[in-house]
Structure 1
């Protein structure tokens, strides 16, 4: 009787997840000298080296807005492989040695019984390269906040003896139009201007778009410029500058910059709280309502990547109630 009771009790216990081991074939890669312009893309291969059980990739964490990731297969069984593709926007990165890191989070999957919650395990992936800047795109990323139609300018500069020429421009939104100017030479450099217009019909809200510049350079067929458009209702709050930048000097432990929030035409503004998913970013502001709310963004040096970075910061307002403003915060490190 006791063996039967023991068997019943054992049968009522949820089965733990099977042993699952996920490893990177090569977790670090050096791409050597890389010319800025096209995205720097590398595929890392992960292999399930366990003998039984499945493993699930639950996410890929990157410390820089310049780094995008895709996962080819989120759930793997023994012997199966998944590719993690990392793509770096080289236009936004400083010349010279750079390193970009991503952390892959994964966990075993329970094969029977109720789901078993277990902490994620991690694999760090790293790409290094020495960036050589010959082609400049200014600005390398654009943030536009507007209540109506507005035009911004992108300039492509090439100092090489045989410079590239932008032949055509396209965008990912029909409400974001581009006009291409002919190239002109000044002080030994060729410059070509693109006028980018957010039209009146652009939808209200925050949208991430891309401007694609097609060129004559076989090694750099296209340049991709990210554009974040915040289309406001008339009379809504504005932030100046639209894309605050924090610039470190050598030896600084933290650096900061200011942003001013106001209502065109006048009105009281009060910030209730400021949120950012990046632990390196914090904010300080006055609790009082006034015609302008000033927010100081602070970036801590020991928590940021050596090549600089970018993070989205959300400001939730108490006055006017219900208003939420998101700005891209950029920081540069010498």
Structure 2
């Protein structure tokens, strides 16, 4: 087996050990069934979400898969049956003896003596371990005995010897159906039918195909829900990132320039950010129709460039009248000085000297 595949398998097993709940993922139902066929106990799926009145898409899909498992049997846990040694050289005499034992086994099967048939076939396999048909025949007896795991071991051995063994695929498919491994069973029986179709294969396929169809539909539904969930999550993350970007953009300190404020929320964001960084903020209330304001604006812009660590804000009282009302602006231009969320000083009117002096004082 390829080393990289082994490493991938090890990684997957570790994931299952750390989080057994992933075995309840519908896409891994075949693997869960396989583990259960070996007698493994799968921890129940987590129910904390359901207890709180919440269900995930996976919970919904898992709960609505109803299969016909009336013919599924409890996995056999007998010790592995005796296998032949493929390394030995088979003589013509042993081959003939094995053929006679097979004939006896077939007679025992016809008489319903299945355990006797197993004994004859096991002895025959010991004599001729390279015969795929002997393993496949013993597998058919194990199927009759309702021992699917033993049948699968023999079918695997038959297929290892002869990859085109129709009986090997047939018996393994029937055994897998007995374990509820519906898709694997359908695959094996389909291969057997292509190689050598018979009525038993056809009837078994007809019986398990509804379950296979349900599983495929179930998987498609799960995949659709998973994709939809992923799209929603991606959209949510995109909206969240966009909101964070806008927030950062809105709350970022602007150095060396005047920031225009258009609504109260923008001002609150700017003042909150400046307060957290102990930054001096100046609120310049102005209006387009105000002559003194036009006189002060160039100076205000120059001062912003001169004091890049100070936050220079500009509010048009007609555009942001809610802000003007909150700050009780009765005349323009008016300049408020704030720091750490508190008003520390102000300048009312077109007093260039006073504005420059106070900025120099509080910016230091």
Same fold (TM over 0.5): no
Larger relative contact order (Cα-Cα within 8 Å, sequence gap ≥ 6): 1
Considering fraction of residues, name the structure with more helix: 2
Flag the structure with larger Rg. Answer: 2
TM superposition score category, shorter chain reference: under 0.3
